[in-house]
Amino acid sequence: MIMPMPDSADVAITAPFAGVVVSIARQTDELVGAGAAVVVLEAMKMEHEVLAQSGGIVRSVEVAVGDAVEEGQVLVRLAHASIEDASRDGVGELPPEERAARADLDEVQERHALTLDPARPVAVARRHERGRRTARENLEDLLDEGSFVEYGPLLFAAQEARRSREELIARTPADGLVAGIGEIDGEPCVAMSYDYTVLAGTQGMRNHLKKDRLFEIAERRRLPLVLFAEGGGGRPGDVDMPIVAGLDCRAFALFARLSGLVPLVGIASGYCFAGNAALLGCCDVVIATEDSSIGMGGPAMIEGGGLGVFEPGEVGPIEMQHANGVVDLRARDDAEAVDAARRYLSYFRQAVSPGPVPDQGVLRQLVPEQRKRAYDVRRVIDTLCDEGSVLELRSGFGKGIVTALVRIEGRSLGIVANDSTHLGGAIDAPAADKAAHFMGLCDAFELPLLFLCDTPGFMVGPAAERMASVRHFARMFLAGANLSVPAGTIVLRKGYGLGAQAMAGGGFKAPLFTVAWPTSEFGAMGLEGAVRLGMRRELEAIEDPQERERAFAATVEAAYERGKGLNMASYGEIDDVIDPAESRRWIATLFSDGATHWSRRAGKKHAFVDAW
């Protein structure tokens, strides 16, 4: 309570500025707590509460509503009083349960609630019946708990000329794109997910603007971006916007401009057509589920072009898109796709604690002594790297080469390896494209590269040339010669011709090191072919076929002896022949504590990461 103190002087509450009295909050003899409003003044179209600085009893009110007052003019006089067990009237002093409800806050909270999954039980149930997750469920799984800050949740489709606002708010929440900023393992990123339950995940005019906003934020803050691209492309039904064709939208240019600046991850689950597929194709890595179908045009567009009638699943099924190189990582379902995205991004962060190291002695046995015997190069990669750290990309395409993100001593790097089980390790046009793309990706984001060479060279012959091999093979030289990240080459077995040089950035002196295992062999071309060409006249001069074959075999054996790794090292054409178990010591030299992290660069290293 407030007890008056008659011996104390009155306290005058004065106007802090000139204004007009619009209300008087306290009347004569009323108790006033410190921080309570006594008068409300209006100035410059704004109302301002004048607060009591200390408690007391209103002795007199010196103004009336409508009076114009000057700065310093007395408004109210208080009799000073002591306050016992009286709380301040300020809102911040009240416990939450005692604060008055506010209609404006209730309206905002109710509107936000309409954008969430519980407000759409029928659409969510239909999604779950198909074994699929909602856009929000995927983002919740992708991002660290509680880290998501959503942009534009209150948008709805630009169709008020056709439908009521109430219907649009209920049926088109967030205009079909849930997007914002969150964290993955404590690192910030932009994440966005088209919501197929809203107008089939189509690209509305307002969600285009939302994408534009977040693409620009990703550029300004150097944030990786994850896009769930499910959807049917452009949306012709947005009639509120005054457009003819909408070809001046900025989203595709803004997104493509991020390439090479920040890691871009695209996820296709279900149907992904037209504009959604265009964004997906700009990503550095494409992850797709088993039920996905990806195409630059959906069934309606195909039929409209007079190209036939197809079901959505027939346009670009996963079997096709994985084999042809569109899909980098194949996932069983939404959950596995999200796990793959999180794992992929982990390679583009700082080093992690080193994991367990497999027994390196096993490497001594993985390449057979029998030089023509094929072997599993993936076992070599798994054994070389920290346990469980290998993520192979584009495994269905360009099968003569393996490309993988890995860790050595907790630090990320890329591996490009020949696979002897496909064409004997010869590099064909698809394999060259795959390797060149991967080299560009690693170079753009500061990941060192390790080449594991075992190739008889580039694939040759009329069939190969019909694949434009001259141009495709050149991509490996162009990418390798212009690497700015550290690179090294280990020759596991065959190192022949131009193909072997391409597996060393253009030549054996181009990498920081070129070393070989004891099983290695080298030559300017395949040795049997070289002997047949180089010794043709001499061999043809031998009339006895058996003697001719013995001479050929002896010459080939001599060529192999000359091309052994030990001999190459003796002449300085490679840096050393090593015990396979010592390979990690060489690989560790590719890492530098002073290396620049991609997120701290002033700009891009390359204009973009090649989509192919």
SS3 per residue for 40-104: EEEECCEEEEEECCCCEEEEEECCCCCCEECCCCEEEEEEEEEECCCCCCCHHHCCHHHCCCCHH
Burial class (CB in 10 A: 0-12, 13-18, 19+), 454: buried
Ordered by where they begin, the domains of the chain are 2-84 (2.40.50.100), 107-346 (3.90.226.10), 360-520+564-591 (3.90.226.10), 526-563 (no CATH)
- Which SS3 state, helix, strand or coil, does residue 593 take? coil
Does pLDDT of 380 surpass 90? yes
* Average pLDDT score over the chain: 90
Q: What is the DSSP string of 557-578?
A: HHHHHHTBHHHHHHTTSSSEE-
CB atoms within 10 A of CB 107: 10
- Which SS3 state, helix, strand or coil, does residue 411 take? strand
Nearest of 439, 474, 572 to residue 514 by alpha carbon: 572
Find out whether 408 and 452 touch, Cβ atoms under 8 Å: no
Which of 106-115, 269-278, 421-430, 586-595 bottoms out in mean pLDDT, i.e. has the lowest? 586-595
- The mean pLDDT of 311-335, rounded to a whole number, is 96
545 pLDDT band (50/70/90 cuts)? confident
Q: pTM value?
A: 0.86
Residues 246 and 123: their CA atoms lie apart, in Å, by 29
Find out whether 232 and 268 touch, Cβ atoms under 8 Å: no
Residues facing residue 116 across a β-bridge: none
Does pLDDT of 329 surpass 70? yes
Does pLDDT of 343 surpass 60? yes
Structure tokens at 317: 């099924």
For residue range 260-270, list pLDDT tens digits in order: 999 999 999 99
Report the C-alpha dihedral over residues 379, 382, 388, 390, rounded to 10 degrees: -110
Find out whether 38 and 31 touch, Cβ atoms under 8 Å: no
Distance of CA 160 to the CA centre of its chain: 35
Q: What is the pLDDT of residue 90?
A: 45
Nearest of 249, 252, 187 to residue 215 by alpha carbon: 252
CA distances to 100, 128, 257, 285 from 607, in Å: 56, 41, 8, 17
Residues facing residue 77 across a β-bridge: 12, 60
Which of 30-44, 401-415, 528-542, 566-580 bottoms out in mean pLDDT, i.e. has the lowest? 528-542
Which of 86-90, 292-296, 340-344 bottoms out in mean pLDDT, i.e. has the lowest? 86-90
Residues facing residue 522 across a β-bridge: 495
Q: What is the pLDDT of residue 481?
A: 96
CB atoms within 10 A of CB 369: 8
